[in-house]
Structure 1
Amino acid sequence: MGKILFWFILIVAVLFAGRLLGHAAAKRAARARQPAPPRPTQSGRGPVAPVAGQGSEEMVRCAHCGIHLPRSEALLQQGKTWCGSEHARLGARPERTH
Structure 2
Amino acid sequence: MRLLVWLVLGLLVYFALRSKLRSSGHAASTPQQPHPAQTGDQGSHASAEAMVICAHCGIYIPASEAISQSGRIFCSDEHRLLHRDS
TM-score, length-normalised on structure 2?
0.44
Report which of the two structures shows the higher radius of gyration computed on alpha carbons. Answer: 2
